[in-house]
């Protein structure tokens, strides 16, 4: 089936002649690395953390299914300590309204780069990074290979976040589903993220919906730890939502989990991991710039 985008979206964000001439299409890709870009700063300007927190980075990821039930997603995050207390939250299938609404409700900073206008809901579609810490810089990473059927090109949202005064590089990802790209093409998509992070001196976090479990072996062979490896199903019969890290260690044997009850917010279950950063010398109060 061929889907058409709404005419009212054609001038959106100055997409210009290329979009105007697209007519009916499977998907409208937004492959400009510079944007569209949405960001907001809703976290308190001063973060006060206990001494123990200064040694731990809490990361979570949540695919919220086209952001159709944002209120339910916010409730799940608020009422789940492992999500509510996360330093970094990677989210997938957001639009610009949902990104702002979630960040404002939870008092988080955020950055969001959509990768496409989705053909089902005719809204922006892509991953976002939210954090209670300052976001120093952010960029959009356009991944290789368009998927079969819709010809959608996936993107990742990347950011350097200053956690307890120390930089951490984070990628929020949502790779193409298995029926639309080959295994080699999926590895190319993950490889593009690894290439972008290759020269980073700071710790690296890659979190999101990988639409695969076996791709984890590709990442572990390239030096990434996999704290969410054995959590079980995160969507239907599959365990596709994961967190991978480099330059960080798992805090404890029970330092990762999956939230089973999502109250209809999504078909995915969020996952989380607590990671050891090491102690930061001098104080536990970090003022945001």
Residue range 111-116: mean pLDDT, rounded: 98
What mean pLDDT do residues 169-180 have?
A: 95
Q: What share of the chain in percent tops pLDDT 70?
A: 84
Q: How confident is the model at residue 254 (pLDDT cuts 50, 70, 90)?
A: confident
- pLDDT surpassing 60 at residue 20: no
Determine the average pLDDT of the residues in 147-169: 94
Q: Note the pLDDT of residue 213.
A: 97
What is the chain's mean pLDDT, rounded? Answer: 87
- Asked if pLDDT for residue 10 goes beyond 60, the answer is no
| Residue 3 in this model has a pLDDT that exceeds 90 | no
Higher pLDDT among residues 47 and 146, named by residue: 146
**What is the set of domains in the chain, with CATH numbers?**
7-287 (3.60.10.10)
CA distances from 175 to 55, 125, 209 (A): 31, 13, 7
Instruction: Assign 279 a pLDDT band (cuts: 50, 70, 90).
Output: low
Kindly state the tokens that stand for 100: 């702002």
* The pLDDT value given to residue 54: 78
Over pLDDT 90: what percentage of the chain? 78
CA distance 9 to 272: 35
State mean pLDDT over 162-181.
95
Q: How does strand 204-209 pair with strand 166-174?
A: parallel
Angle at 20 between CA 121 and CA 96, to 5 degrees: 40
pLDDT (0 to 100) of residue 286: 34
Q: What is the mean pLDDT of residues 226-247?
A: 96
Q: What does the pLDDT look like over 82-108, one tens digit per residue?
A: 999 999 999 999 999 999 999 999 999
Lowest-confidence region among 53-57, 123-127, 129-133, 150-154: 53-57
Chain mean position to CA 227? 16
Residue written as token pair 């307890």: 164
Model confidence at 9: pLDDT above 60: no
* Banded model confidence at residue 177, pLDDT cuts 50, 70, 90: very high
Closest among 288, 251, 247, 242 to 269, alpha carbons compared: 242
Residues 6+ apart with CB under 8 A from 187: 215, 218
pLDDT at residue 277 in the model: 87
Q: Write out pLDDT tens, residues 22-63.
A: 334 579 999 999 999 999 999 998 754 443 467 899 999 999
């Amino acid at each position: 089936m061929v889907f058409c985008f709404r005419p009212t979206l054609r001038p959106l964000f100055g997409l210009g002649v290329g979009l105007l001439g697209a007519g009916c299409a499977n998907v409208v890709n937004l492959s400009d690395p510079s944007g569209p870009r949405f960001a907001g700063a809703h976290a308190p300007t001063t973060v006060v953390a206990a001494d123990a927190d200064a040694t731990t980075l809490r990361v979570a990821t949540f695919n919220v299914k086209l952001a159709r039930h944002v209120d339910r997603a916010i409730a799940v995050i608020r009422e789940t300590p492992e999500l509510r207390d996360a330093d970094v939250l990677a989210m997938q299938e957001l639009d610009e309204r949902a990104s702002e609404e979630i960040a404002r409700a939870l008092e988080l900073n955020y950055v969001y780069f959509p990768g496409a206008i989705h053909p089902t809901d005719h809204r922006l579609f892509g991953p976002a990074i939210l954090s209670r810490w300052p976001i120093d810089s952010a960029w959009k990473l356009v991944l290789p290979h368009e998927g079969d059927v819709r010809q959608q090109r996936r993107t990742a949202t990347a950011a350097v976040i200053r956690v307890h005064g120390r930089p951490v590089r984070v990628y929020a990802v949502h790779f193409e589903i298995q029926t639309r790209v080959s295994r080699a093409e999926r590895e190319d998509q993950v490889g593009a993220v690894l290439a972008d992070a290759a020269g980073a001196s700071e710790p690296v976090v890659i979190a999101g919906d990988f639409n695969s479990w076996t791709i984890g072996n590709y990442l572990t062979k390239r030096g990434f730890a996999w704290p969410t490896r054995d959590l079980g199903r995160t969507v239907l019969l599959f365990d596709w939502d994961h967190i991978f890290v480099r330059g960080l260690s798992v805090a404890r044997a029970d330092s990762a989990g999956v939230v089973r009850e999502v109250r209809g917010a999504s078909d995915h279950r969020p996952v989380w991991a607590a990671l050891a950063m090491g102690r930061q010398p001098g104080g536990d109060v970090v003022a945001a710039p």
